[in-house]
Amino acid sequence: MRTQEAFNQWLNRITLSDMPGADVIAFNFGIFEDQQVGYKLYIAGLKVYDSEDNDWATEEDYIPQERYFTLCVKSHEEDWKQVQDKVVEMIKTYQSTPDYLDSFLSKAKAVTTGFDDGELLRVIYYFS
């Protein structure tokens, strides 16, 4: 199965069966390296969002049961920047699907991604 297809299915399972509270306004796709399987993602929701301070993403208010997604990328195959760019592209591709429009992600104030020890990139954000 292609990584994008698996990613879309993972998000669809979460958005259909594991809804966050209405007060969760932003979501972060954290990226980290797992020594055994390579790079992994997790999703977390938060009640606050601060575009000026990456620490907003440390106080997680929503953690879905199926939190983790394994990327089909080993750490020796691509560097961190390539992996981050790939995650950004996967999120943007998901955003272009009808499933996204029906998901809680489409109502978020912001959707970000980045490595746990790095800067977060806003992939999707709304002004309201």
Q: In tens digits, what is the pLDDT along the chain, a chain of 128 residues?
A: 578 999 999 999 999 999 999 999 999 999 998 888 888 999 999 999 988 888 888 889 999 999 999 987 665 567 888 899 999 999 999 999 999 998 999 999 999 999 987 778 788 655 44
User: pTM of this prediction?
Assistant: 0.90
Give Cα separations from 98 to 88, 92, 105 (angstroms): 18, 13, 12
Name the domain count of the chain: 1
Bridge-partner residues for 29, per DSSP? 43, 113
Give the structural domain span for 30. 3-125
Tokens representing 21 are 């509270």
Q: What residues contact 88, with CB distance under 8 A and at least 6 apart?
A: 113, 121, 123
How far apart, in whole angstroms, are the C-alpha atoms of residue 54 and residue 45? 14
How far apart, in whole angstroms, are the C-alpha atoms of residue 4 and residue 91? 9
